[in-house]
Structure 1
């Protein structure tokens, strides 16, 4: 099964760097955004070819 579309799904994680390594390195997701947003970090990834607005947000809640 190949994942082709996900629409901005927040995924709570305790370690954004480890989660990024898993989704990008193991699953092959592309990093869409990785930037500071005030005191937090906006980290969005998407499957290759997913298109605009599709992806997951790795949220350190």
Structure 2
């Protein structure tokens, strides 16, 4: 996914639609996995950003 002009991304986690500011997920210029992760009893959500700024949201389930 590509952030909107305000740097926001929309994603789903555990059937909830969420919105996040990429500046809160990544340091300026950071690529690779974010240090921000979200977890519940059955899911882990992680973010990754490539060198072109494209963000991948990955959910791992039990």
Q: TM-score, normalised by structure 2?
A: 0.30
Larger RCO (CA under 8 A, 6+ residues apart): 1
Structure with the larger helix share: 1
